[in-house]
Amino acid sequence: DIQMTQSPSSLSASVGDRVTITCRASQSISSYLNWYQQKPGKAPKVLIYAASNLQSGVPSRFSGSGSGTDFTLTISSLQPEDFATYYCQQSYHTPPYTFGQGTKLEIK
């Protein structure tokens, strides 16, 4: 199975900050990488698909980049509603689809 490792596991930041979350795959997954946001008690929501494509309706302050094994999710200017847990997920070597362990973004 492909292992997905996110860093950091948790992060404290302030409104207006630029934040980057990293996801590393245990082997190359081309650009078959998606990013999700999950708020407490809610289902995850897809933000970015195929590494760098913004899902419809997602604010443009979210962006993704990378290919192969290393990927990043960037939030250009944090808003209060962005404090949540973020997951990466690979769709290249399936089954299984695998998720990263999550990055919890908290208010500083």
**Which residues bind to other proteins, rule: CB under 8 A?**
1, 31-34, 36, 42-46, 49-51, 53, 55, 87, 89, 91-92, 94-102
Residues, the chain: 108
Q: Which amino acid is at 50?
A: A
How far apart are the two ends of the chain, measured CA to CA in Å? Answer: 36
Amino acid symbol at 95: P
Q: Alpha helices, DSSP H only, in 1-108?
A: none
Smallest gap, in angstroms, from Cβ of residue 82 to other proteins?
19
| Neighbour count for residue 18 (Cβ, 10 Å) | 11
Compute the least distance from the CB of residue 16 to other proteins, in Å: 28
Cβ distance to other proteins smaller for residue 47 or 75: 47
Closer by beta carbon to other proteins, 28 or else 77: 28
Please report how close the Cβ of residue 49 comes to other proteins at its closest, in angstroms. Answer: 4
